[in-house]
Amino acid sequence: MKLRQGRRGSILLLSIFFLFTLFFLAMALLQLLPVELNAARWARMNHEASYAADAGITDTITWLEEVLAGKQGRLSDLTEDLERRDSFGDWTWFVKVEPDQQTRQNNPVRVFRLTSVASLDGRPHRRIVADVRQDSFAHYLTFIGASDNRAYWRLNRDSKLEGPMHVNGVASIAYDNDWFNTGVPFFEGTYTASGFHVPSGKPEGFGDGVRYRTTTGFDNSDTPYNEDGVPIPERYDRIFTRGREALKTGVREREMPETSRNLAKEAWGETPLPLDQGVHLDTSPGQANKKGILIQGDVESMELSVVQGNSVMTVVQGTGEAEQETRVTILSESGMTLPAGSEVNGAVLPREMDLETGNTVVQKPDAGGRKVFTVAPGVTNGLVYCTGSIQGLQGQNKGRRTIAVDVENHKEIVISGDLTRQDTPVGEKPAGTDDLLGLLGMNIRIGNSVERDLNKPLQLYCSVFAGRKNRDGKYEGSFLVDDLESSGVGKFIIYGSVVRAQDSPWLMSWVNSGGAYVGSTGFVANMKYDDAAAANPPPFFPTMPTLRVLSWKEEPYR
Amino acid sequence: MRSPRPAGMTLAETLISAAILSILGLILLRIYTVSHQAYSHGTGQIALQQRARFLTEQITPLLSAAAPPHDGAKALFSPNSASLVFYVPDKNFQPRNPHYIRVGIYHNDIDQTVWLENSATPPSNQEEMFRSRELAREIYDLRIGLPTENTVRVTVEVRGLTRTAGGDQAEQSYLLENLLQIPYYSKN
pLDDT at B3: 58
First and final CA of chain B: distance in angstroms? 105
| Per-residue model confidence (pLDDT) at position A209 | 94
Q: Which pLDDT score, from 0 to 100, does residue A7 have?
A: 56
Integer Cα distance of B134 and B82 in angstroms: 15
pLDDT of residue A57: 96
Contact residues for A547 (Cβ-Cβ < 8 A; gap 6+): A61, A64, A65, A68, A112, A132, A133, A134, A135
Residue A377 exposure: Cα atoms within 13 Å on the Cβ side: 3
| Averaged pLDDT for residues B57-75 | 87
B150: chain A residues, CB-CB within 8 Å: 245
Does the distance separating the beta carbons of B64 and A554 come in below 8 Å? Answer: yes
Task: Flag whether the pTM goes above 0.95.
Answer: no
C-beta separation of A291 from A268 below 8 A? yes
DSSP A39: H
Secondary structure class of A174 (helix, strand, coil):
strand
Higher per-residue pLDDT: A525 or B186: A525
Give strand pairing partners of A359: A377
Tens digit of pLDDT for each residue in A49-72?
999 999 999 999 999 999 998 888
Element (H, E) at A371: strand A370-377
Q: Which residue of A has its CA nearest to B7?
A: A6
Indicate the residue type of A187: F
Instruction: Kindly report, residue by residue over A69-124, the tens digit of the pLDDT.
Output: 888 888 888 889 999 999 988 899 999 999 999 999 888 899 999 999 999 988 99
Which chain A residues are closer than 8 Å to B95 by Cβ? 100, 111, 131-133, 535, 550-551
Over residues B102-114, the mean pLDDT reads: 94
**What ipTM was assigned to the predicted interfaces of this complex?**
0.81
- For A59, what's the count of Cα atoms within 13 Å in the CB-facing half-sphere? 19
Cα-to-chain-centroid distance, residue B143: 12
Spatial separation of the C-alpha atoms in residues A532 and A230, rounded to whole Å? 37
CB–CB contact B61 A57 (8 Å): no
% of chain A with per-residue pLDDT over 90? 67
Give the model's pLDDT for residue B139.
95
Taking the CA atoms of chain A, what radius of gyration do you get in angstroms?
33
Interchain CB distance below 8 Å, B149 and A133: no
Whether A32 sits inside 8 A of B64 (CB atoms) is no
* Residues of B whose CB is below 8 A from A61: 187
Cα–Cα distance, A556 to A125 (Å, whole number): 6
Q: Are B28 and A18 inside 8 Å of each other by CB?
A: yes
Q: Enumerate the residues of chain A whose CB falls inside 8 A of the CB of residue B24.
A: 14
Which of the residue ranges A12-16, A283-287, A401-405 has the most confident prediction, judged by mean pLDDT? A401-405
Q: Which of A128, A152, A14, A120 is nearest to A61 (CA)?
A: A128
Q: What is the pLDDT of residues A134-171, one digit of tens each?
A: 999 999 999 999 988 778 888 888 778 889 999 999 99
Measured CA distances, A84 to A88, A99, A431, A557 (Å) = 14, 14, 38, 18
pLDDT at position B7 is 66
Q: Is the pLDDT of residue B6 over 70?
A: no
When mean pLDDT is compared over A98-112, A406-420, A526-540, B51-65, the highest value belongs to: A406-420
Q: How far apart are CA A462 and CA A537, in angstroms?
A: 10
* CA A261/CA A255 separation, integer angstroms: 17
Chain B residues within 8 A of A31 when measuring between CB atoms: 39, 43
Residues of B with CB under 8 A from a CB of A: 5, 7-9, 17, 21, 24-25, 28, 31-32, 35-36, 38-39, 42-43, 46, 49-50, 53, 57, 61, 64-65, 67, 70-72, 74, 89, 93, 95-98, 129, 148-150, 183-184, 187-188
State CA A7 to chain mean position distance: 96
Instruction: Report which secondary-structure segment, H or E, holds A383.
Output: strand A383-386
Residue A2: is its pLDDT beyond 80?
A: no
What would the mean pLDDT of A503-510 be, rounded to a whole number? Answer: 86
Per the CB < 8 Å rule, is B39 touching A32? yes
Q: What percent of chain A has pLDDT over 70?
A: 97
Does the beta-carbon distance from A54 to B183 stay under 8 Å? Answer: yes
Q: Which of A34-48, A472-486, B76-90, B132-146 has the lowest mean pLDDT?
A: A34-48
What number of helices (H) and strands (E) belong to chain B? 2, 8
Residues of B whose CB is below 8 A from A35: 46
Kindly tell me if the per-residue pLDDT of A3 is higher than 60. Answer: no
Residue B27 C-alpha, separation from nearest chain A C-alpha, in angstroms: 11
Pairing relation of β-strands A153-154 and A172-175? parallel
- Residues B50-55: what's their mean pLDDT? 91
Interface test with B, best of A554, A555, A558 (most B CBs within 10 A): A554
Residue A162 and residue B7: Cβ atoms within 8 Å?
no
Please state, in angstroms and as integers, the Cα–Cα distance from residue A329 to each residue in A303, A312, A357, A363, B20, following that order: 12, 4, 11, 8, 111
Query: CA nearest A132: which of B156, B183, B106?
Result: B183
Decide: A114 and A95 in contact? Cβ < 8 Å.
Answer: yes
- For B42, which of A32, A162, A190 is closest by C-beta distance? A32
DSSP A3: P
Average pLDDT, chain A: 90
Q: What pLDDT was estimated at residue A339? A: 93
Where do the structural domains in chain B lie, given as residue ranges?
34-187
- Residue A175: closest CA among A158, A150, A156, A188: A156
The predicted pLDDT at position A220 comes to: 60
Q: From the list A162, A242, A535, which residue is nearest B98 (CB)?
A: A535
Interface test with A, best of B96, B101, B181 (most A CBs within 10 A): B96
Residue B125 binned pLDDT confidence (cut-offs 50, 70, 90): confident
Give the C-alpha separation, A25 to B32, whole Å. Answer: 8
CA A384 to chain centre: 20
Is A552 in contact with B187 (Cβ distance < 8 A)? Answer: yes
Q: What's the angle, vertex CA B74, arms to CA B73 and CA B77, rounded to 5?
A: 140
Chain A residues with CB under 8 Å of B25 CB are: 17
Q: Please answer yes or no on whether B150 and A245 come within 8 Å at the CB atom.
A: yes
Contact A553 B70 (CB under 8 A): no
Give the nearest chain B residue to A554 (CA atoms). Answer: B61
Between B151 and A514, the higher pLDDT residue: B151
Question: Which of B5, B35, B67 is opposite residue A550, by nearest beta carbon?
Answer: B67
- Grouping H, G, I as helix, E, B as strand and the rest as coil, residue A481 is strand
Whether residue B72 is predicted with pLDDT greater than 80 in this model: the reply is no
Under 8 Å CB-to-CB from A387, ≥6 apart: which residues? A264, A273, A294, A295, A296, A297, A405, A406, A409, A411
* pLDDT above 90 for A214: no
- Per-residue H/E/C for A92-138: EEEEEEEECHHHHCCCCCCEEEEEEEEEECCEEEEEEEEEEEEEEHH
Report how far residue A170's alpha carbon sits from residue B141's, in angstroms, rounded to the nearest whole number.
Answer: 47
- What sign for the dihedral angle of Cα A364, A370, A371, A373? negative
For residue range A333-350, what is the model confidence (pLDDT) as tens digits? 999 999 999 999 989 999
Minimal Cα–Cα distance from B35 to chain A, Å? 7
What's the pLDDT score for residue B169? 81
- Please state the rounded mean pLDDT for residues B124-139: 91
Lowest-confidence region among A134-138, A182-186, B119-123, B152-156: B119-123
CB count within 10 Å of CB A314 equals 17
For residue A97, give the nearest of A68, A63, A73, A71 by alpha carbon.
A63
Confidence of residue B165 (pLDDT cuts 50, 70, 90): low
Res B5 pLDDT > 70: no
Pairwise pLDDT comparison (A14 vs A474), residue with the higher score = A474
Nearest chain A residue to B70, by CA:
A531
A474 pLDDT more than 80: yes
pLDDT, position B39: 78
* Contact call for residues B79 and B102 (beta carbons, < 8 A): no
At B21, phi and psi to the nearest 5? -60, -40
The answer, yes or no, to whether residue A219 has pLDDT greater than 80, is no
Least Cα separation, residue B114 to chain A (angstroms): 20
pLDDT of residue A471: 93
User: Does the structure show a pLDDT above 70 at B24?
Assistant: yes
Q: How far is B57 from chain A (nearest CA, A)?
A: 9
pLDDT digits 0-9 by tens, A356-393: 999 999 999 988 889 999 999 988 999 999 999 999 99
- Of the partner residues B17, B49, B61, the one whose CB lies closest to the CB of residue A39: B49
Mean pLDDT of A550-555: 92
**Taking chain A, what is the end-to-end CA distance rounded to the nearest angstrom?**
74
Contact between A63 and A86 under an 8 Å Cβ cutoff? The reply is no
Count CB-CB contacts under 10 A for residue A378: 20
- Chain B residues within 8 A of A131 when measuring between CB atoms: 89, 93, 95
Cα–Cα distance measured from residue A499 to residue B64, given in angstroms and rounded to the nearest whole number = 33
